[in-house]
């Protein structure tokens, strides 16, 4: 995948984060109050936004550093991490099915791997 693809995916995740956050604050207000999982939902939105911005930053960095094929794995880890980490928190918050909390760390590990790959690649492409 080209860095432009990750830029677009990052932008779309960021836009979705704004929409999901607004929907949670307004459309799901009563549901989240009933489940008592509003903080879980907010954490999902925060980490989605952090990693959407990270995807955008990685894509911009990749245009200058040309780290292919590592950019694919960094982007994949961040994108999959968003889906698994934030997605499981959204489902947990809305359904109050606590087993979803066991899925969340998998997404966190994917995000950490993405950060580690980026650090490794940046170190290896440093001038």
Q: What is the pLDDT of residues 47-98, one digit of tens each?
A: 999 999 999 999 998 888 777 788 899 999 999 999 999 999 999 999 999 9
**Spatial separation of the C-alpha atoms in residues 51 and 85, rounded to whole Å:** 11
Global pTM reads 0.93
Q: What pLDDT, on a 0 to 100 scale, did the predictor assign at position 107?
A: 98
Predicted confidence (pLDDT) at residue 46 exceeds the cutoff of 90: yes
**Spatial separation of the C-alpha atoms in residues 78 and 107, rounded to whole Å:** 9
Q: What pLDDT, on a 0 to 100 scale, did the predictor assign at position 125?
A: 82
Whether 127 is covered by a domain: the verdict is no
Longest dimension (CA), the chain: 54
Q: In terms of Cα–Cα distance, which of 4, 124, 127, 117 is closest to 60?
A: 4
Phi/psi of residue 103, nearest 5 degrees: -85, -35
**Spatial separation of the C-alpha atoms in residues 109 and 43, rounded to whole Å:** 16
How many domains does the structure of the chain reveal? Answer: 1
Over residues 99-111, mean pLDDT = 97
User: The domain containing residue 22 runs over which residues?
Assistant: 3-121
Whether 107 is covered by a domain: the verdict is yes
Whether 126 is covered by a domain: the verdict is no
- The sign of the CA dihedral 18, 25, 101, 47 is positive
Q: What pLDDT, on a 0 to 100 scale, did the predictor assign at position 35?
A: 86
Q: What pLDDT, on a 0 to 100 scale, did the predictor assign at position 3?
A: 82
Whether 42 is covered by a domain: the verdict is yes
Whether 104 is covered by a domain: the verdict is yes
Q: What pLDDT, on a 0 to 100 scale, did the predictor assign at position 127?
A: 64
pLDDT tens, residue by residue, 23-40 = 999 999 888 888 899 999
């Amino acid at each position: 995948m080209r860095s432009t693809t990750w830029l677009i995916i990052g932008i779309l995740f960021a836009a979705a984060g704004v929409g999901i956050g607004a929907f949670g604050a307004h459309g799901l207000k009563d549901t989240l109050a009933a489940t008592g999982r509003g903080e879980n939902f907010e954490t999902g939105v925060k980490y989605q936004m952090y990693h959407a911005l990270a995807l955008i930053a990685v894509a911009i960095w990749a245009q200058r550093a040309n780290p292919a094929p590592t950019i694919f794995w960094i982007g994949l880890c961040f994108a999959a991490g968003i889906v698994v980490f934030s997605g499981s928190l959204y489902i947990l918050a809305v359904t109050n099915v606590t087993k979803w909390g066991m899925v969340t760390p998998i997404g966190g590990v994917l995000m950490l791997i993405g950060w580690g790959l980026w650090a490794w690649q940046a170190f290896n492409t440093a001038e």
